[in-house]
Amino acid sequence: MIRLFLKAKHWQLFFLMVGVPIIGYIFFVIQLINTFEMQSSTSGTMTTPAGVIDMMRPILSFVMIPILVQIGWYYSLGKGVQRFINPALKMKTTVFTLSNLLPLIFFVGMIILFNRFFGNLVLNPNYVPPTSYMSTLVLFVLVPLNIILTVCMVYNYYVIARTIKTAELNRVVRFSDYAGEFFSMWFHFIGVWIVQPKVNQLQEYVPGDIVNELHD
């Protein structure tokens, strides 16, 4: 998997992380408009809110793809680019691995939660989630988790940026050296056009396929 992400082109990653959600949104809007037109021309009645929610549920599949690609790309950059670094300059990646795993679990869990919530609304239009439960969930779970996830993502950007710049310069680097890569990762939809070509170019310095296979 790491090797695929490192060899991927910037436009391929951009399409998976940005293009796929846009296509999903356009598909939903077109389907919604067609449903409205069909119902107004036949029975003159509009679809129910539960029907609209039911049509929204497939969008969750489109949301899953960019999330998995983005986290997989982050992990592959921080972990895979280490192979191009002098052993004396390599970073430990145990914490980095955990900081990628936590957002993955969180986003997958949220999508499952939203899918169940939408399912309850479709089956029972009068369904009302328990207010006290939702307030407790937001206050004591979601807010702290979002803070932790933000810290994890910033740490991921730091590791990725420092790793790429260390591989490029082959020396100990300071933040001023990799600040550009750090902020490029922060705005990944732009940064993918800047960072990924550098990663593709780094692989040209590896003398042979044997080196790649030893690190896979």
Q: Yes or no: say if 84 and 205 are a contact pair by the CB < 8 Å rule.
A: yes
In the numeric block, the tokens 């969750």 are attached to: 60
212, pLDDT greater than 50 = no
Could you give phi then psi for residue 57, rounded to 5 degrees?
A: -60, -40
Structure confidence at residue 213 (pLDDT): 41
**pLDDT at residue 44 tops 60:** no
Report for 4-13, 20-29, 137-146: range of highest mean pLDDT: 4-13
Distances (CA, A) of 68 to 1, 100, 101, 216: 12, 11, 11, 20
Query: What percent of the chain clears pLDDT 70, i.e. is strictly above it?
Result: 71
Instruction: Pick the range with the lowest mean pLDDT from 25-39, 64-78, 147-161.
Output: 25-39
pLDDT at 43: 56
| Per-chain mean pLDDT for the chain | 80
pLDDT of residue 54: 63
pLDDT at site 144 = 82
Give the model's pLDDT for residue 53.
62
What integer pLDDT is reported at residue 110 of this predicted model? 79
pLDDT (mean) for 191-209 = 78
What span, in angstroms and rounded, lies between the C-alpha atoms of 44 and 24?
A: 28
List, in order, residues 6 or more apart from 165 with CB less than 8 Å away. 173, 177, 178, 181
State percent of the chain over pLDDT 90: 39
| Residue 132 pLDDT > 60 | no
By the 10 Å C-beta count (0-12 exposed, 13-18 middle, 19+ buried), 150 is classed as exposed
98 pLDDT above the threshold of 80: yes
Beta carbons of 193 and 10 less than 8 angstroms apart = yes
6-15, 67-76, 198-207: least confident range: 198-207
